[in-house]
Amino acid sequence: MSELTVTNRFQLENRQLPDAVMTDAIKTMAAHASVRRYKPDPVPEEALEAILTAARSASTSHNFQAYTIIVVTDPERRRQLAELSDQEHVSQSPLVLVFCADLYRLERVCQRQGYPFGDRHMDLFLQAVVDASLAAQNAAVAAQSLGLGICYLGAIRNRPLEVAKFLGLPPRTFALFGLTIGYPARQPRIKPRLPAQVTVHWETYSDAHLDEGLAAYDATMAATGIYKNRQVAVRADGAGAAGQADSASSTNGATTAGDQVAPAPNVYGWCEHTARRLAKPHPLRRDMKTYLEQLGWEF
């Protein structure tokens, strides 16, 4: 299957399932690829209403609905949000939905009824984060089913306090991520995922297929050329880098068809790219807990 004709993950993984299980919703999800370049056309009002209704229909823990969606369409505000998130494409997309985890509303409900808001523990935090995430994924799938493109914007967490101020967030809320939505200026390629036997286990957790799966994925990802000109630099002091890391950076693009089953250990693939990212502390994210506490969250 030529890469250019691949329109969903089933094709990408050379699997064919009976038509009976290929519903429109499944086809939409299997066709997902993040879109970072948008046409200027606005998202029609009815489309936005359908997207938001899909979001509000998602499951929610205890029916708490512990999230708030902030719709940002104003061009100047999108520009500012792009700056705060270090992501140019945010200003290009005509619509940004910001998904906030929200315990403030529940606190107000307790006050309204004359009860104290009990422990604000880690599990309530998790409930709010999961509520926001499930709503967001419904919004994403709804948008994509309408021919719109989407991209999650985790980088909205790069400056949690400034973003909270920008959005006028009350205490005990925070912007978990944004979701840019718009008509794609071009259709991006679907990105291969880890083989199913790496991420899906049966009855109990098992890493029996981990090594083999990582090697296969490394070869697949290196072959896409996705890491060309995007290699993560190893720090000059060598901290965190074993000898092989340096040699890896000089072998990018050297993968040949013959390497794909058992790639050389110094292939710059998903493993090397991911390990380099994780080895370096993220200057803007490592203090997330402190920022969240400053925003009124307790754990």
**Does residue number 230 form part of the binding site for a copy of itself (CB under 8 A)?**
no
Question: Could you say which residues in the range 73-102 bind a copy of itself, by CB under 8 A?
Answer: 73-74, 77, 100
Residue 15 CB, nearest distance to a copy of itself (Å)? 8
CA dist 265 and 267 (Å) reads 6
Which CB sits closer to a copy of itself, 15 or 257?
15
**Does residue number 188 form part of the binding site for a copy of itself (CB under 8 A)?**
no
Identify which range of 83-91, 180-188, 255-263, 284-292 contacts a copy of itself by CB under 8 A: 284-292
Closest CA to 195 of 208, 185, 209, 181: 209
Question: Could you say which residues in the range 106-135 bind a copy of itself, by CB under 8 A?
Answer: 106, 108-110, 112-119, 121-123, 126-127, 129-130, 133-134
Query: In 10 A of CB 40, how many CB atoms?
Result: 11
Let me know if 251 is exposed, middle or buried by CB neighbors in 10 A (0-12, 13-18, 19+): middle
146, 47 in Cβ contact below 8 A? yes
The correct pick among 95, 177, 216, 219 for binding a copy of itself (CB under 8 A) is 177
CA distances from 293 to 6, 36, 172 (A): 45, 32, 9
**Does residue number 68 form part of the binding site for a copy of itself (CB under 8 A)?**
yes
The correct pick among 61, 231, 249, 260 for binding a copy of itself (CB under 8 A) is 61
Which CB sits closer to a copy of itself, 203 or 237?
203
**Does residue number 224 form part of the binding site for a copy of itself (CB under 8 A)?**
no
CA dist 225 and 236 (Å) reads 25
Radius of gyration of the chain from its Cα atoms, rounded to whole angstroms:
22
Q: Within 13 A of 189's CA, how many CA atoms are on the CB side?
A: 13
The correct pick among 186, 201, 228, 230 for binding a copy of itself (CB under 8 A) is 201
The correct pick among 6, 37, 50, 188 for binding a copy of itself (CB under 8 A) is 50
Closest CA to 16 of 8, 24, 28: 8
Number of residues near a copy of itself (by CB under 8 A): 133
Q: What distance, in Å, lies between the first and last C-alpha atoms of the chain?
A: 49
**Does residue number 249 form part of the binding site for a copy of itself (CB under 8 A)?**
no
Which CB sits closer to a copy of itself, 73 or 260?
73
**Does residue number 13 form part of the binding site for a copy of itself (CB under 8 A)?**
yes
